Each structure stands twice: as C-alpha cells, then as structure tokens.
C-alpha cells in the first residue's frame, strides 16, 4: 500500500493570497483611500496590512474576510503555485494523495468543486469546517498511517498532527507572522518538495 501524502490547500497548493488580493482590488477600488493590495503584504490570515480597508470600513472584518474566501470570484482567481499541479500528479504513483484543508461552509463547498474540476486525480479530500473558530482544526486528523507525510504552510497545523514526516511549505522562503519559529523540514517550492519526496533512503 502506498503511504499517504496529506496536503494543505490554501497557500500550499494554490496562491490564495493572490486570489484574495485580486477580489479585494475589485471590490474596494471605489474607496478614495484605496491602495491596490499585493500578495507580498499578506502576512496574516485577515490581511490587516495588505487589505486595510476591510479593517477600516467593515463592522466585522473577520466575517468580511470569510465572506471573500467564500465568493465564486475568489475561486475564479485561484491559481496553482508553479509546479504544484505537475508535482502532485507525478507523486500520485508513490503516494495516496489526500487534501486536508480548513474552510467555512461557503468556502468548503466551492473548494471541493474546484479541486474536483482542477485535480480530479486526488484520492480524498478532508474538509474541516470549524464554525466556532476555536476548534483544534487539523489536530482532528491524526495522520497515523505508517510513512504519512503532511505538507502545510502553517507550523501550528503541522504540530497538531502525528504525521511521521512534517514539511513546512514556505513559498519563496517568505517569513510571515504565522510561519516563523519552525525548525523542522521546510521547502520553498514544489520542485524542491518533489526532489525531497522522491529521494530514497
Ligand atoms: Mg494553508
């Protein structure tokens, strides 16, 4: 039996920051103090620095961030990180491919359809819908199978499971508020991840 490769979705397989900023730029451009958002300024999940108008103009910024993540528009802007699609397809010969991702109900339902449409070869999709915002998230998925590998851009997610091998996906080597402090295995591109996972011994 092939070992399981658990893959996070947002900011690991796809450039969620870029899609989020694109939607923000469309929806907020009519404000006079609008400055176009750029993915490189997105250092936290509520986009405090990249998308300040959400925090200045919205009564409930967290709800607004969740709303954007659940929009059809967000998914139409979603792109794979360079090499992600080809690498996952190639790794399928060696691994059972499981996507493990957190979501709101609106985001999760559209995300499943996006994955089905763009990566029909994925073996399984685990969507964690944490409605209270205080759940243990990915820690509910123990990843105990021998040889299980887990790749995520968030160190807290990596720490919360028992996967045998945990790899931080750190796109372009960027350090943000939430990914600092990880001293385990890390990669900054899908090419590097492929090389590491195909290395024998
Ligand atoms: Mg992620």
pLDDT per residue as tens digits for the range 110-150: 999 999 999 999 999 999 997 776 656 798 899 999 999 99
The pocket of ion ligand 1, defined by CB under 5 A, consists of 8, 10-11, 153
In the chain, at which residue ranges do the beta strands (DSSP E only) sit?
4-7, 96-103, 124-129, 149-152, 165-169, 185-187
Q: Identify the band that residue 200 occupies on the pLDDT scale cut at 50, 70 and 90.
A: low
Tell me the fold of 4-15+80-198. Answer: Rossmann fold (3.40.50)
Ligand 1 center–CA 56 separation, angstroms: 25
Cα of 47 from ligand 1 centre, angstroms: 14
CA of 84 to the centre of ligand 1 (A): 14
The domain limits of the chain are 4-15+80-198, 16-76
What are the backbone angles phi and psi of residue 47, rounded to the nearest 5°? 55, 45
Contact between residue 136 and residue 118 where contact means Cβ atoms under 8 Å apart = no
Cα(8) to centroid(ligand 1), Å: 6
């Amino acid at each position: 039996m092939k070992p399981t490769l658990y893959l996070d979705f947002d900011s690991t397989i796809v450039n969620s920051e870029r899609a989020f900023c694109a939607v923000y730029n469309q929806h907020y451009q009519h404000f006079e103090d609008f400055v176009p958002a750029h993915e490189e300024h997105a250092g936290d999940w509520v986009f405090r620095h990249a998308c300040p108008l959400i925090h200045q103009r919205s009564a409930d910024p967290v709800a607004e961030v969740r709303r954007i993540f659940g929009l059809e528009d967000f998914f139409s802007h979603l792109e794979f990180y360079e090499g992600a699609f080809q690498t996952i397809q190639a790794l399928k010969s060696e691994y059972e491919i499981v996507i493990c991702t957190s979501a709101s109900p609106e985001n999760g339902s559209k995300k499943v359809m996006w994955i089905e449409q763009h990566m029909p070869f994925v073996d399984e999709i685990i969507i964690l819908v944490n409605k209270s915002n205080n759940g243990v998230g990915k820690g509910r998925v123990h990843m105990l199978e021998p040889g299980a590998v887990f790749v995520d851009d968030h160190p807290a997610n990596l720490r919360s499971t028992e996967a045998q091998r945990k790899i931080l996906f750190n796109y372009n080597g960027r350090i943000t508020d939430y990914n600092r402090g990880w001293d385990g295995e890390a990669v900054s591109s899908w090419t590097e991840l492929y090389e590491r996972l195909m290395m024998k011994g």
